[in-house]
Amino acid sequence: NRQWILRQRPKGLVQPTDLELVESPVPDLKDSEVLVRTVYLSLDPTNRTWMNDAEGYLPAVKLGEVMRGLTLGVVEDSKSERFKKGDIVTPMSGGWALYAVVPEDGLRPVHRAPGLPLTANLSVLGMTGLTAYFGVTDVCRPEPGQTMVISAAAGAVGSIAGQIAKQKGARVIGIAGGPEKCRWLTEELGFDGAVDYKNEDVGEALDRLAPDGIDINFENVGGDIMNAVWNRMNVHGRMAVCGLISAYNATRPPPSPNFARIITHRLNIQGFLVLDYAPRAREMVAEMGPWLAEGKIQWKVHVDEGLESALESLNRLFTGDHDGKLLVKVSEE
Ligand code: NDP
């Protein structure tokens, strides 16, 4: 087997000495266990938060343990009556490894979407799509004509969230890094406006693009970008706090926004976790399926080759050097 082991808690971006790629034998299967060969490893911003020894929604990965990660793989061997060799599955504890031995209760079968590549199951129809779909439809709940701002808008979740909000009739403005990502949002995905936070003042751009203020914020970044949005939220505005990626590598928490605005503008702020929506995946597929078939939702996948690339690849999420859902291809389908 090949596995990435967490050796020390990173400070800032992950460094080559923080994790080690080791070779080890694959253990024998016990009753009801399944051997899964990883085909794709999903790299997600939250992976970085699991490396910190801090209170989170899941326990921190311990030093000396295999790095946790969402994967999609093929059953190679099985002592379970529910899974057989060749089945495609997503283990809940696959991790950054070529092989994982998983109890049958920790496996979900993967149903290939007709006409779509397998990577769709880890992107637009996987956790990413689920986050975007329920973040918009259950938390943001945009009404036609409302102005919605999304940060990390050209990323995996943000780009899909924006297109869903367009389907619901909102006026959608995205914040993203660089002219090419902003062009993609407005010219290809149908966003009503885009702010290039790397090259323009976010507050000034929002004043220009949302002169009547902001009704809804799908927040992925936090920090100065969130504050610029926060200071322009309208009365009874709604914020879905999906992620705060600008803080994931930070050693101290960023300054808080002005909380008085929650009172003066009666803001409704809600954090959410995709895990809570996993049982409702069918609802997402029911509504998104036809949009995908009609070409109303587009998405991109960025695939890096080989398990050995995982550590460097993770840092792409924090530099923005990727286009769409970031995956590592660990072995052939
Ligand atoms: P993305 O594909 O959006 O990649 C992350 C992007 O964030 C980068 O491409 C970069 O875009 C942007 N970014 C990184 N650092 C900064 C920074 N300091 N300032 C501004 N932008 C930055 O990743 P995901 O779609 O997987 O995740 C997006 C967000 O959603 C994250 O915050 C993540 O934690 C959250 N999330 C939350 C879930 C939940 O259940 N609540 C589930 C899944 C994701 P650019 O090039 O534009 O700078």
- 202 pocket-lining for ligand 1 (C-beta < 6 Å): no
In tens, the pLDDT along 213-228 reads 999 999 999 999 999 9
Question: 55 with 147, same domain?
Answer: no
At residue 240, the pLDDT reads 98
Query: 250: domain CATH number?
Result: 3.40.50.720
* Mean local confidence (pLDDT), 281-293: 95
Q: Please name the residue whose Cα sits nearest to atom 15 of ligand 1.
A: 318
* Mean local confidence (pLDDT), 301-319: 98
At residue 162, the pLDDT reads 98
The answer on pLDDT for 92 being more than 90 is no
Question: 49 with 154, same domain?
Answer: no
Q: Please name the residue whose Cα sits nearest to atom 12 of ligand 1.
A: 152
- C-alpha of residue 122 to centroid of ligand 1, in Å: 16
Helix 281-293 to helix 156-167 angle, to the nearest 10 degrees?
A: 80
The answer on pLDDT for 93 being more than 80 is no
- Does residue 254 belong to any structural domain of this protein? yes
Bridge partners of 171?
147
Please, which pLDDT band fits residue 252 given cuts at 50, 70 and 90? confident
Q: Of the residues 138, 220, 249, 269, which should be mutated to test ligand 1's pocket, given the most ligand atoms within 8 Å of the CB? A: 220
In tens, the pLDDT along 230-249 reads 999 999 999 999 999 999 99
Look over the chain and give the mean of its residue pLDDT values, rounded to a whole number: 97
- C-alpha of residue 275 to centroid of ligand 1, in Å: 17
Nearest C-alpha neighbor of 41 from the set 303, 226, 225: 303
Question: 136 with 203, same domain?
Answer: yes
Please, which pLDDT band fits residue 32 given cuts at 50, 70 and 90? very high
Joined tokens for residue 123: 């992107």
At residue 127, the pLDDT reads 96
Question: 200 with 272, same domain?
Answer: yes
Question: 87 with 211, same domain?
Answer: no
- 177 pocket-lining for ligand 1 (C-beta < 6 Å): yes
23 CB-near residues (< 8 Å, 6+ apart): 1, 2
In tens, the pLDDT along 150-173 reads 999 999 999 999 999 999 999 999
Provide the 10 A C-beta neighbour count for residue 176. 26
At residue 94, the pLDDT reads 86
CA distance 75 to 94: 12
At residue 25, the pLDDT reads 94
Question: 8 with 109, same domain?
Answer: yes
Angle at 246 between CA 206 and CA 54, to 5 degrees: 145
Question: 164 with 79, same domain?
Answer: no
What predicted TM-score, i.e. pTM, was given to this entire model?
A: 0.97
The answer on pLDDT for 255 being more than 90 is no
Q: Render 279-321 in DSSP notation, one character per residue.
A: GGHHHHHHHHHHHHHTT-----EEEEESGGGHHHHHHHHHHT-
Please, which pLDDT band fits residue 251 given cuts at 50, 70 and 90? confident
- C-alpha of residue 78 to centroid of ligand 1, in Å: 36
Task: Quote the domain boundaries for residue 113.
Answer: 2-123+300-329
* Mean local confidence (pLDDT), 24-46: 97
- Strands, E, within the chain: which ranges? 2-6, 19-23, 33-42, 71-78, 88-91, 99-103, 107-109, 147-151, 171-176, 193-196, 214-219, 233-241, 268-271, 301-305, 325-329
At residue 325, the pLDDT reads 98
At residue 330, the pLDDT reads 98
- C-alpha of residue 221 to centroid of ligand 1, in Å: 6
CA distance 106 to 233: 42
Q: Of the residues 157, 197, 198, which should be mutated to test ligand 1's pocket, given the most ligand atoms within 8 Å of the CB? A: 157
**What percentage of the chain carries pLDDT values higher than 70?**
100
- 42 pocket-lining for ligand 1 (C-beta < 6 Å): no
- 70 pocket-lining for ligand 1 (C-beta < 6 Å): no
At residue 287, the pLDDT reads 97
**What percentage of the chain carries pLDDT values higher than 90?**
95
C-alpha separations of 14 from 56, 80, 90, 308, 325 in Å: 19, 37, 25, 14, 19
* Mean local confidence (pLDDT), 91-108: 93
CA distance 250 to 44: 17
Question: 139 with 113, same domain?
Answer: no
* Mean local confidence (pLDDT), 293-320: 97
Ranges of H-type helices in 82-142: 127-134
Bridge partners of 185?
none
Number of domains in the chain: 2
Query: 80: domain CATH number?
Result: 3.90.180.10
- Does residue 94 belong to any structural domain of this protein? yes
- Does residue 60 belong to any structural domain of this protein? yes
Joined tokens for residue 71: 């994967």
* Mean local confidence (pLDDT), 12-32: 96
* Pairing mode of beta strands 233-241, 214-219: parallel
* Mean local confidence (pLDDT), 108-127: 94
